[in-house]
Amino acid sequence: MKRTDKQNYSRRNWIQLMALTNTGLLLPTSLISCADKNSGKSKTSETNTILLISGWQDVNIGDIAHTPGLLHVLETFLPDTEIILWKRSRSTEVEKLLHQNFPKVKIIHGGVDDKHNVDSPEVLAAFDKADLMLHGSGPSIVARAHLKAWAKHSDKPFGIFGTTIQHINDDLAQLLKKASFIYTRETQSLEILKEHGINNDHITFAPDATFFLNLKNDNKANTFLKEHGLDEKKFICAIPRLRYTPYHEIRKVNWSESKIKDLEETNERFKEVDHAKLRQAMIAWVRETGNKVLVCPEMTYQVDIMDELLIDPLPEDVKPFVVKRGYWMPDEAASVYNKAHTILSFECHSPIMALATGTPSFYLRQPEDTIKGQMYYDLGFKDWVFEIEETTGEQITNTLRSVWSDYEAAKQKVAASMNKVGDIYKKSTAVIESILEQRS
């Protein structure tokens, strides 16, 4: 989707709202409670404000991309609405990227304690100012505590946009029943909601917001491509993935030794059999087209497994045609994917980022990678989803051959499904707009 010209926001004056911070009169954390539902300031402007909670982690360009994707949805279809981003994770590099591309969006941080009180006057000010809270795309209701803090503080509405909801306990069910709308990023979550008696007129499918990512860094991408002799539409991208992400090697996690042992054993058991199928397609591409392959990561840990799983086992005549890329930001990745011929990925979101630029993409789906992959079927990409335990390397290779044999047809397929995505977002945001108008 092209960036629209109609993207101006009417910003309110934050000076009064941030008086607590500016005067240094910061309340102790234990006293900053959201309990008083009548403490919010009255509305003084016709501009509506959405408080978006998003930004779950920054070691995965797919997770990073959720946020700018949804910001672009909001600025496109709700151009006169002010957005405040309550970002869960902290990253100077990611926040610089967001500021550069969405300069009118204010980014705030703040935690929530076990009693659903917030520890930041800045967040409290946003609670008072915002007309609606929106939970961004993600693997689950990641910000459950944040939504509960909002509900404790005010009677104002909240909703969920483009999220997988695979597991529901009684506590989560009670929260979801209070939502004004729930948009799941695939249709399987809708069935799970129904099974738990959660339904209203505004529970429906709206794809992961990464489908609307519009970030680019053509300068950085073009420099890399030129340095490595990667010509436009004459290289494919290959992205590896272990069955389970080894988060215990990335950050502190509360996992038992037995869980880590099971995870590592599963990864070890499947890593070769999975990636051999992708390598078969890489080999055919190089030998039959004479073109190159870029092996690149979606997550930080994948930089360390590229050689073992995708490069070292290749035949000697193929290796000179393979290029590696270290971890990167989603803007550069999107620019590279735009220039690539086709993306072949075990990760879910790099293909989405590529499809958003018009590039054909294959998702090699591992059974451990949750129900989120259903969204590819929901949007008409079933021919490009390969359930890896039911797929041979030859099937992947033959489909790749069909794409390079009739590339225009493949691009038209992408365009048709992406138009469907835009239509869904338009309808979804119309509901949000109507809720905001009721509060005006």
Reported as a single tens digit per residue, the pLDDT across 28-77 is: 333 234 434 433 334 445 789 999 999 998 889 999 999 999 999 999 99
pLDDT of residue 439: 81
Which residue type is seen at 75?
E
Q: For domain 218-405, give the CATH number.
A: 3.40.50.2000
Question: Residue ranges of the domains in the chain?
Answer: 19-212+420-439, 218-405
pLDDT 10s digit of each residue in the chain, 440 long?
333 433 332 333 322 333 333 333 333 333 234 434 433 334 445 789 999 999 998 889 999 999 999 999 999 999 999 999 999 999 999 999 999 999 999 999 999 999 999 989 999 999 999 999 999 999 999 999 999 999 998 899 999 999 999 999 999 999 999 999 999 999 999 999 999 999 888 999 999 999 999 999 999 999 999 999 999 999 999 999 999 999 999 988 999 999 999 999 999 999 999 999 999 999 999 999 999 999 999 999 999 999 999 999 999 999 999 999 999 999 999 999 999 999 999 999 999 999 999 999 999 999 999 999 999 999 999 999 999 999 999 999 999 999 999 999 999 999 999 999 999 999 999 999 999 999 87
CB atoms within 10 A of CB 407: 14
Quote the pLDDT of residue 220. 98
**Residues comprising the chain, all counted:** 440
pLDDT at residue 33, as a whole number: 40
Whether 19-212+420-439 shares its CATH topology with 218-405 is answered yes
Share of the chain residues as helix, strand and coil, in percent rounded to the nearest 5: 50, 15, 40
What pLDDT, on a 0 to 100 scale, did the predictor assign at position 31?
29
19-212+420-439 folds as Rossmann fold (3.40.50)
Closest by CA to 281, choosing from 161, 393, 137, 419, is 393
| First-to-final CA distance of the chain | 30
pTM of the full structure: 0.88
CA dihedral 425, 143, 23, 95 (to 10 degrees): -60
The two tokens of residue 158 are 């909240």
Check residue 98 and give its pLDDT: 97
Which helix (H) or strand (E) is 147 found in, with range? helix 144-153
Dump the DSSP string for 352-372.
Answer: HHHHHTT--EEEEE-TTS-GG
Q: In angstroms, what CA-CA distances link 212 with 98, 206, 220?
A: 15, 11, 21
For the chain, helix (H) and strand (E) counts, in that order, are 15, 13
